[in-house]
Amino acid sequence: MTHRIVIVGGGAGGLELATRLGKTLGKRGSANITLVDTNLTHIWKPLLHEVAAGSLNTSEDELNYVAQAKWNHFQFQLGRMSGLDRATKQIQLAATLDEDGRELLPARTLGYDTLVIAVGSNTNDFGTLGAAQNCLFLDTRKQAERFHQQLLNHYLRAHAGDNANQKISVAIVGAGATGVELAAELHHAAHELAAYGLDRIKPQDMHITLIEAGPRVLPALPERISVPVHKTLEKLGVTVMTNAAVSEVTAESLKTSNGEVIEASLKVWAAGIRAPAFLKDIDGLETNRINQLLVRPTLQTTLDDDIFAFGDCAACPQPGSDRNVPPRAQAAHQQASLLAKGLKARLEGKPLPTYAYRDYGSLVSLSSFSAVGNLMGNLTGSVMLEGWLARMFYVSLYRMHQMALYGTFRTLMLMLGSRIGRGTEPRLKLH
Ligand SMILES: Cc1cc2nc3c(=O)[nH]c(=O)nc-3n(C[C@H](O)[C@H](O)[C@H](O)COP(=O)(O)OP(=O)(O)OC[C@H]3O[C@@H](n4cnc5c(N)ncnc54)[C@H](O)[C@@H]3O)c2cc1C
């Protein structure tokens, strides 16, 4: 029987891997490649803050799994992995329901010879009182679209009401890259919405508060990047609070452990990650306190050679460091490339290559205003980038993902299409 490789999760890493393996092993008939995802379409997760602010229209940037599978010699199965039976080498998929709650696809099992788990992560609210009930999260396209809809609803209500000059308050918990980028993107959205005539809420009347438990914004990046970013945010009118740990969220406000109360009509939690709960000790595999599967440098899980995990859902050691590989699109992309080679080597009975994270630096987009970041080079060490150049590098991360999925020609066509579209469509999604 042809070797069956099942990849669960078609995100930044899993979809690249399925495409690469399809084009090689799948095309030659050396293996059957199956990708499983809960959705029918893929949108690159680092774009979700733009979806939330309305500056990105998901229908233009989404990829259809069924078509991608057809073009790249792999199969696609719609479903949510809910369990695993290592003894019989099967995964369990829960029943898929349609929008009205009726069963679309029944619960079923899927057999594998090699299983790759790449199901990503969700935001971690650390069990903070009221956070799950009162905050919005940006883990999925649906959640980002929900945020956008709520933002628009505020504007539409203000526009239809009698009171001129209304206000809107947004609080973002977590000043990591996601929180910072969302704050800048929302500021940009406030200007665009006013320019389109929804000007009962003036740009300066959208109050954005960014709340960070640590001593500075972008705690995972070097301090010399935090300082200019903090200054730019303040220049844009964003209130930045540091050393402020949120201890409770209510429908109207957020409370910090040092007693401050921040009133906000829209609240977004963008601090911390954890892997999906169904992974916790799944069929005896080792996991850590945030549900990530423990893997070796080959990306095989610690207790099962036939099961690999990568991306945000895996705790992968970094040689010479006591920290794991960070949960970043950059790492998922590198690991997908390594596994594409590794799984081919495995079929040929050759030793597996091992993964070492290469940090190419981090870039943070401050919407159309600027971008800031550092690039890591072998010879130069870390180079600080700002402004136009940083923005170009930032956009290139997404282009690399598109190249892996579509190849060079189609990526160039997509870039051309979006440039033409910019002249004919509103710059902000208005519905
Ligand atoms: C707003 C935002 C901005 C970000 N910006 C950056 C950035 O600028 N640079 C950067 O490097 N990183 C960034 N990140 C982090 C980056 O998005 C992640 O590190 C990256 O997407 C991880 O890739 P992944 O393949 O592990 O998971 P994901 O890309 O999250 O994909 C997981 C996939 O698994 C599917 N799935 C989940 N559960 C199941 C299940 N049970 N069964 C079947 N399928 C399932 C999901 O539908 C999804 O398609 C950002 C994240 C967010 C939220």
pLDDT of 379 > 60? The answer is no
| C-alpha dihedral (407, 337, 63, 177), degrees to nearest 10 | -120
Using an 8 Å Cβ cutoff, are 267 and 135 in contact? Answer: yes
- Position 146 scores a pLDDT of 93
- Give the number of the atom of ligand 1 that is nearest the alpha carbon of residue 177: 5
Residue with more model confidence, 362 or 172 = 172
Distance CA 109, CA 128 (A): 36
Using an 8 Å Cβ cutoff, are 14 and 318 in contact? Answer: no
Q: 319 pLDDT band (50/70/90 cuts)?
A: confident
Lowest-confidence region among 159-173, 218-232, 327-341: 159-173
Is this structure's pTM higher than 0.85?
yes
Using an 8 Å Cβ cutoff, are 392 and 360 in contact? Answer: no
- Position 171 scores a pLDDT of 97
Distance CA 374, CA 389 (A): 11
What value does the mean pLDDT take over residues 21-49? 96
- Give the number of the atom of ligand 1 that is nearest the alpha carbon of residue 139: 53
Nearest to 117 by CA among 304, 356, 351: 304
- Give the number of the atom of ligand 1 that is nearest the alpha carbon of residue 80: 42
Distance CA 4, CA 117 (A): 14
CA-nearest residue, atom 37 of ligand 1: 119
CA-nearest residue, atom 7 of ligand 1: 46
What value does the mean pLDDT take over residues 390-409? 82
CA of 141 to the centre of ligand 1 (A): 11
CA of 174 to the centre of ligand 1 (A): 18
Using an 8 Å Cβ cutoff, are 92 and 222 in contact? Answer: no
Name the token pair of 284. 């005896």
Using an 8 Å Cβ cutoff, are 129 and 248 in contact? Answer: yes
CA geometry: angle at 72 spanning 37 and 11, to 5°?
A: 30
Lowest-confidence region among 58-72, 153-167, 343-357: 153-167
Query: In one letter, which amino acid is 177?
Result: A
pLDDT of 244 > 90? The answer is yes
Name the token pair of 116. 């790759």
Lowest-confidence region among 10-14, 156-160, 253-257, 407-411: 156-160
- Residue ranges of domains in the chain, CATH in brackets: 3-121+275-347 (3.50.50.60), 131-269 (3.50.50.60), 361-421 (no CATH)
CA of 193 to the centre of ligand 1 (A): 29
Using an 8 Å Cβ cutoff, are 239 and 226 in contact? Answer: no
A 10 A CB-CB count for 281 gives 10
CA-nearest residue, atom 31 of ligand 1: 11
| C-alpha dihedral (378, 47, 300, 83), degrees to nearest 10 | 170
pLDDT of 350 > 80? The answer is yes
Give, in order, the Cα–Cα distances in Å from 385 to each of 68, 136, 168, 317, 374.
35, 32, 33, 28, 6
- Position 377 scores a pLDDT of 52
The percent helix, strand, coil of the chain (3-state, each to 5) is 35, 25, 35
Nearest to 340 by CA among 2, 11, 24: 24
Q: For ligand 1, which residues put their CB under 6 angstroms from it?
A: 8-14, 36-39, 42, 45-46, 48-49, 80-81, 118-120, 138, 177-178, 276, 311-313, 327-330, 332
- Position 426 scores a pLDDT of 55
Distance CA 123, CA 330 (A): 18
CA of 159 to the centre of ligand 1 (A): 36
- Give the number of the atom of ligand 1 that is nearest the alpha carbon of residue 10: 49
Lowest-confidence region among 39-48, 290-299, 337-346, 405-414: 405-414
Burial bucket for residue 360 (CB in 10 Å: 0-12, 13-18, 19+) = middle
The percent of residues above 70 in pLDDT, for the chain, comes to 90
Alpha helices in 274-360, H assignment, sequence order: 329-347
Using an 8 Å Cβ cutoff, are 55 and 367 in contact? Answer: yes
Using an 8 Å Cβ cutoff, are 324 and 275 in contact? Answer: no
Give, in order, the Cα–Cα distances in Å from 33 to each of 17, 23, 28, 409.
10, 10, 11, 24
Pairing state of beta strands 63-64 and 41-42?
antiparallel
Q: Which of 119, 362, 376 to mutate to test the pocket of ligand 1 (most atoms within 8 A of CB)?
A: 119
- Position 217 scores a pLDDT of 94
- Give the number of the atom of ligand 1 that is nearest the alpha carbon of residue 42: 49
Q: Which of 282, 328, 357 to mutate to test the pocket of ligand 1 (most atoms within 8 A of CB)?
A: 328
- Position 422 scores a pLDDT of 63
Nearest to 180 by CA among 412, 362, 380, 334: 362
- Position 144 scores a pLDDT of 94
Distance CA 80, CA 36 (A): 8
CA of 198 to the centre of ligand 1 (A): 33
CA of 308 to the centre of ligand 1 (A): 17
Q: What is the pLDDT of the chain when averaged over all its residues?
A: 89
CA-nearest residue, atom 5 of ligand 1: 46
pLDDT of 127 > 90? The answer is yes
What value does the mean pLDDT take over residues 61-89? 96
Residue with more model confidence, 223 or 107 = 107
- Give the number of the atom of ligand 1 that is nearest the alpha carbon of residue 314: 26
- Give the number of the atom of ligand 1 that is nearest the alpha carbon of residue 278: 41
- Position 12 scores a pLDDT of 96
